[in-house]
Amino acid sequence: MKKLLFTLFFGLAFVALGHAQTAIRVASYNIENYILSPIQNRPLKTKLAQAKVVESILSAKPDVLALQEVGTAEALAKLQSDLKAKGLNLPYVEHLQSFDPAIHVAYLSRFPFKKITKHDNESYLLNGRRLHVGRGFAEVKISVRGYDFSLINAHLKSKRRVPEADQAEMRLQEAYRLRRIVDARLKTAPDINLVVLGDFNDYYNSKPVKAIVGRGNSRLIDSRPSERNGDSGPNLINKKWFPRDVSWTHFYGVEDVYSRIDYIMLSPGMARELDRANSWIPVIANWGHGSDHRPVVISVFAKDR
């Protein structure tokens, strides 16, 4: 009897420990015009590019994958099928169609969506003119072993000039709209586990990113993944600045510039669960054949702390 009780106790303790250490891996990746059927004179994604996108995602092995620049729902289904064929099964799908007819934000997930909120009709006034958030914002809620968390996937206006208005002002207004959604969630539930992620198309110290981050107790925490190349520790020259590790996510060929414009931000409540040691930017050979962006990946412990 004592042996049986010891076995039961050990088994329960092991299960409890396993529950406490359950980690969720979240990734964000702009897959650059993942378009498989003609639209707007955009180039079709080649077989080589599709394969490299799959390889990049497999290097991250995410449980929840937020995507930007996805074409049609059929194109997303093709990517999902290709990943499954390589051993990564993400059966749950959300594909948001908003005002941009060609590219969209989307999710692939190992976990079912407890709730989906489609921010597909967001607009703002700029110089007396009503404009819309091109890609909208895709919001989902997921529950893993009683740990609830929500994600808002965004792809803000690019720096490409357009006739409607100044691209920088458009991006800033989209950032304000996104922050209003974040504020609404934090006002209702200050300790909410919230991830705000995607391609913000601007630098950390820019007005749009500052607007999304916010201030005070509702300030979002920048997870800032970086390459696993041996760099570690704080910036020894100026501790007020970010560490000098390699964290760029995007390559702009015209200017030959590498920059960080893709982010995974966490609410204060969820930042306590961040596992920085297992948050990184995957590095694979010829990554640029797939996209001009690299994936960003974080891990969080599925237990409120």
Cβ contact 26:64 at 8 Å:
yes
237 located within any domain: no
Report pLDDT digits (tens) over 255-297: 999 999 999 999 999 999 999 999 999 999 999 999 999 999 9
* CATH number (domain holding residue 166): 3.60.10.10
145 located within any domain: yes
In the chain, how many domains are there? 1
121 located within any domain: yes
Whether the pLDDT of residue 29 is over 90: the answer is yes
* DSSP structure class, residue 254: T
234 located within any domain: no
**Whole-angstrom Cα distance, residue 115 to residue 148?**
11
**Whole-angstrom Cα distance, residue 178 to residue 139?**
11
17 located within any domain: no
Report pLDDT digits (tens) over 183-210: 999 999 999 999 999 999 999 999 999 9
For residue 54, the enclosing domain spans 23-228+242-301
Enter the pTM of the model: 0.92
46 located within any domain: yes
pLDDT (0 to 100) of residue 232: 86
pLDDT (0 to 100) of residue 140: 98
* DSSP structure class, residue 289: G
Burial of 222-246, coded b for 16+ CB within 10 Å and e otherwise, reads: bbbbbebeeeeeeeeeeeeeeeebe
165 located within any domain: yes
18 located within any domain: no
Kindly indicate the confidence band of residue 240, based on its pLDDT and cuts at 50, 70 and 90. Answer: confident
Report pLDDT digits (tens) over 82-131: 999 999 999 999 999 999 999 999 999 999 999 999 999 999 999 999 99
Q: Sort strands 194-199 and 147-155 into parallel, antiparallel or unpaired.
A: parallel
What are residue 265's DSSP bridge partners? 196, 222
**Whole-angstrom Cα distance, residue 58 to residue 164?**
39
